[in-house]
Amino acid sequence: MNKSPLALIAACLVATPALAAEAARPLNFANDIVPILTKGGCNGGGCHGKASGQNGFKLSLLGFEPQEDYEHIVKEARGRRIFPAAPEQSLLLTKGTAQLPHGGGKKLDPKSEDYQDLVRWIREGMPYGKDTDPKMASISVEPSKLTMPLKGSTKLKVTAHYSDGSTRDVTKRALYEANEKAMAETSETGEVKLFDLPGDVAVMIRYQGKVTTFRATVPLGAPVDKLPPVSNYIDDLVFAKLKTIGMPPSDICDDGTFIRRITLDITGRLPTAEEMKDFMASKDPQKRAQLTDRLLDSPEYAEYFANKWSALLRNQRTQPTFARGSYLFWSWIRDSFADNKPFDQFAREVVAASGSLDQHPPVAWYRQVKEPKQQMEDVAQLFLGTRMQCAQCHHHPFEKWSQQDYYSFAAFFANVSRKTATAKDEEIIFNKRGAAQMTNIRTKQPVMPTSLGSEAAKLRPEQDPRLELANWMSKKENPFFAHTLVNRYWKHFFNRGLVEPEDDMRETNPPVNPELLSAMAAEFVKSGYDLKALVRSIATSTTYQLSAVPNAHNAKDRQNFSRYYPKRLNAEVLYDSVNRLLDVESAFAGQAPGTRAVALPDNSYNQSNYFLTVFGRPDSSSACECERTQEASLAQSLHLLNAADIQNQLTRGNGRADRMAKDTRPEDDKVTDVYHIALSRDPNATEMKLAQDHVAKKTAGKKDQEAFNAKKEAFEDILWALLNTKEFLFNH
């Protein structure tokens, strides 16, 4: 029986309502087409999304500017990329499916839904969409959190939420990336597969400029029947996590390991043999806490942490006339730590520095960080754990920050001005009067100073916006400031931050123990931003005092702090430690003899000291801890093995080896002494026998001067072997 066209349409709608509704929905370029290009990587930084485009075709990075992308695809090059009369023959599709040569390879399958949507969009006349079309407001993932077994897998479902209240399943077009590649891998369809490492792993999910995170807890499942004694709230939260995932912690380290570990971490030096022996002999149950307090009160603590912050605050000597300023700045940093200046005050005095170097040495920071955008980026990364650099040109790909956020935050520094001081190449920093504002380079509109996630600051023309910024930073409810500092210090002591990298704290890079991070931040604020109190809490925790030796269950642990994670001594500490072992007095130009490398005021000494360069002392050219090289290299190994300066120090007259050869005490005592200096422990029986046999072999059959020379050479060999051991090169 014949049916009218209307009846046929009605029958189709009844038969396949969902399909008909989807077909009836008009396509929107930003909502439907751009995500296809993003999923295929077409608008990535390595393809058409880079600043210059690729082979004459340019797209906005990750599709953050759909209007521009529409112009490039539809109208640019006289419309050659689109062929409405035969959509399948469009260059956009023939390149994407690799029917024509394409440098990016095949990005589209002709049988896929993505391909069909592109064909339909072209056939329908390439609509951009209406202003009244719904805009995407957010995305969500199900499940958002899950406990999964080792080597388990799960399938994620991603939903886009639009301004009109509608939702859409966008699982197939979202992008997935695990933050711990050693723990999990993801597929293009949202499947998460775990490997055999326990702990926490997060998967960042991106779709059309929005991000969300899936978190998986992966228990080991071992019985945790007995835990070490709890010292403070840090242990409560760490041990609770270990019980949850079933990972027994290592035992508490011995006294020799502890004194070496904490002395290196707080003061950047090896403990002396006398300090080690006194500590080992003490029976006081509070001796570890007392040692922590003594080290925090020592001038070496202030020197060591001044070395850390001087590099982060770019204290450079890029020309000889900067020497005065760099030393004044370093001295101010050192004195701040010696006086235990509250950290919010320390940050305020840097961020809002004004005047001359004599009046206020932190103005030296503005000598190296000259532009408002650079000043903002450094402050955001250093004090707020937020990397804003990406948002200068486009919406941050992994965060919520836009270009508007970037320029409005940079506006806090818009009125920073400078004039020439009386001393050569020095400046006076001041805040000029007037409304502080910057121009968003894309919108061309002025923006006012605005804190991250806040409303624009209401400032009078005579106010210094930087003081308002400092006030916002130090508010107890600030979600960035305290969290960033405690995470940075946690990494200093544990060789791994609760968030990694330590200055990239964002929703899509969650902490491995969020309860611990929040508790430490709250305690830091409550203490009045007391840095020594923070260090004391960390160093006296049982967690910090756990052995680096793994047990039967935690050898693969990299994020739960079930044991201490050994770390290489940094360049300055290793240099000083080698000098201590070889009994060498350092000599740096312009510094008193014996000045420690950790007490050098700026980067200029790297050029004259190959040891510091090859072992990765930073050049203070950025606000990132990543500038400090920690990886081992062949050049480092060769330097320790046969560098001329180390060999000369080993063999010099009246050096340690020379004095050991002259010493009439038993060989056992002398070998024990150097083990105390280098490793803060006695040599074991095997090590002692090796040393005795080596001395005996070297001196066998020799007399007088020849015997002395042979004995000296034997002790040189022992010292050389010690300084090349991993036990010496690492804090453990």
What does the alpha-carbon distance between residue 155 and residue 135 come to, in Å, rounded to a whole number?
A: 27
Nearest to residue 200, comparing CAs of 144, 147, 140?
A: 147
What does the alpha-carbon distance between residue 726 and residue 79 come to, in Å, rounded to a whole number?
A: 64
pLDDT of residue 563: 96
Task: Lowest mean pLDDT of 222-231, 285-294, 514-523, name the range.
Answer: 222-231
Residue 592 has pLDDT above 70, yes or no: yes
Could you tell me the maximum CA-CA distance found in the chain, to the nearest angstrom? 124
Residue type, 428: I
User: 474 vs 113, 337, 519, 528, CA distance in Å?
Assistant: 51, 18, 17, 10
Residue 621 has pLDDT above 90, yes or no: no
- Name the band, by pLDDT with cuts 50, 70 and 90, for residue 36: confident
User: 684 vs 465, 672, 676, CA distance in Å?
Assistant: 62, 9, 12
DSSP string for residues in 79-96: GTT--TTSGGG-HHHHHH
Q: Is 381 helix (H, G, I), strand (E, B) or coil?
A: helix
Task: Lowest mean pLDDT of 287-296, 528-537, 596-605, name the range.
Answer: 596-605
Question: For residue 153, which phi and psi values (nearest 5 degrees)?
Answer: -145, 160
Average pLDDT of 236-240?
Answer: 96
Give the strand order in the sheet containing 145-147. Answer: 145-147, 210-218, 199-207, 175-178
User: 513 vs 334, 488, 494, 634, CA distance in Å?
Assistant: 32, 14, 14, 36
Share of the chain above pLDDT 70, in %: 95
Tokens of 321: 């006339």
User: 2 vs 6, 14, 16, 77, 594, CA distance in Å?
Assistant: 12, 18, 21, 49, 104
pLDDT in tens, 653-697: 889 999 999 999 999 999 999 999 999 999 999 999 999 999 999
DSSP string for residues in 450-495: B-TTSPBP---TTS-HHHHHHHHHTSTT-SSHHHHHHHHHHHHHHS
Q: What is the enclosing helix (H) or strand (E) of 562?
A: none
What does the alpha-carbon distance between residue 672 and residue 19 come to, in Å, rounded to a whole number?
A: 82
pLDDT of residue 68: 82
pLDDT in tens, 278-325: 999 999 999 999 999 999 999 999 999 999 999 999 998 888 888 898
- Name the band, by pLDDT with cuts 50, 70 and 90, for residue 394: low
pLDDT of residue 303: 96
Sign of CA pseudo-dihedral 27, 31, 36, 41: positive
What does the alpha-carbon distance between residue 651 and residue 666 come to, in Å, rounded to a whole number?
A: 21
Alpha helices, DSSP H, located in 246-286: 255-267, 273-281
pLDDT of residue 3: 47
What does the alpha-carbon distance between residue 527 and residue 602 come to, in Å, rounded to a whole number?
A: 31
- Name the band, by pLDDT with cuts 50, 70 and 90, for residue 732: very high
Contact status, residue 623 vs residue 378, Cβ threshold 8 Å? yes
Task: Lowest mean pLDDT of 16-20, 26-30, 195-199, name the range.
Answer: 16-20
pLDDT of residue 398: 65
- Name the band, by pLDDT with cuts 50, 70 and 90, for residue 395: low
pLDDT in tens, 82-137: 888 888 888 888 888 888 888 778 888 888 888 888 888 888 888 888 888 888 88
Residue 37 has pLDDT above 70, yes or no: yes
Give the strand order in the sheet containing 184-186. Answer: 153-155, 191-194, 184-186
Tokens of 153: 């897998």
Sole residue written with tokens 């001087």:
310
Supply angle C-alpha 300, 340, 229, rounded to 5: 80
As a whole number, the mean pLDDT across the chain is: 88
The dihedral region occupied by 717, where left means phi > 0, alpha psi between -120 and 50, and beta the remainder, is alpha
Average pLDDT of 425-432?
Answer: 87
Nearest to residue 717, comparing CAs of 674, 684, 669?
A: 674
Residue 461 has pLDDT above 50, yes or no: yes
**Could you tell me how many helices (H) and strands (E) the chain has, helices first?**
29, 16
Residue 226 has pLDDT above 60, yes or no: yes
pLDDT of residue 541: 97
Q: DSSP character for 597?
A: G
pLDDT of residue 209: 78
Tokens of 257: 């390991």
pLDDT in tens, 123-170: 888 888 888 888 888 899 999 999 999 999 999 999 999 998 999 899
Tokens of 62: 């990750």
- What is the chain's length? 732
What does the alpha-carbon distance between residue 303 and residue 535 come to, in Å, rounded to a whole number?
A: 15
pLDDT of residue 5: 42
Tokens of 35: 């995500």
Nearest to residue 243, comparing CAs of 196, 198, 201, 195?
A: 198
In sequence order, what are the residues at sequence separation of 6 or more whose Cβ sits closer than 8 angstroms to the Cβ of residue 369?
A: 314, 375, 378
Nearest to residue 391, comparing CAs of 409, 403, 373, 377?
A: 403
pLDDT of residue 15: 42
What does the alpha-carbon distance between residue 646 and residue 55 come to, in Å, rounded to a whole number?
A: 54
- Name the band, by pLDDT with cuts 50, 70 and 90, for residue 396: low
Contact status, residue 322 vs residue 316, Cβ threshold 8 Å? yes
More confident: 153 or 504? 153
Residue 7 has pLDDT above 60, yes or no: no
Task: Kindly report whether the peptide bond that precedes residue 501 is cis, defined as omega within 30 degrees of 0.
Answer: yes
What does the alpha-carbon distance between residue 120 and residue 281 come to, in Å, rounded to a whole number?
A: 82
Contact status, residue 316 vs residue 328, Cβ threshold 8 Å? no
pLDDT of residue 12: 43
Q: Which of 250-259, 406-415, 648-657 shows the highest mean pLDDT?
A: 250-259
pLDDT of residue 13: 40
- Name the band, by pLDDT with cuts 50, 70 and 90, for residue 623: confident
Chain-centroid distance of CA 106 in Å reads 35
pLDDT in tens, 567-580: 999 999 999 999 99
- Name the band, by pLDDT with cuts 50, 70 and 90, for residue 6: very low
Average pLDDT of 210-233?
Answer: 91
pLDDT of residue 10: 40
pLDDT of residue 393: 62
Sole residue written with tokens 């000597």:
317
What does the alpha-carbon distance between residue 59 and residue 245 come to, in Å, rounded to a whole number?
A: 45
What is the b/e burial string over 216-235, where b = at least 16 CB atoms within 10 angstroms of the residue's CB? Answer: bebbbebebeeebeebeebb
pLDDT in tens, 537-566: 999 999 999 999 999 999 989 899 999 999
Task: Lowest mean pLDDT of 406-420, 432-446, 583-597, name the range.
Answer: 432-446
Contact status, residue 621 vs residue 627, Cβ threshold 8 Å? yes
Residue type, 304: Y
What does the alpha-carbon distance between residue 427 and residue 419 come to, in Å, rounded to a whole number?
A: 6
Residue 438 has pLDDT above 80, yes or no: no
pLDDT of residue 564: 96
680 C-beta neighbours (distance < 10 Å), count: 26
What does the alpha-carbon distance between residue 531 and residue 168 come to, in Å, rounded to a whole number?
A: 48
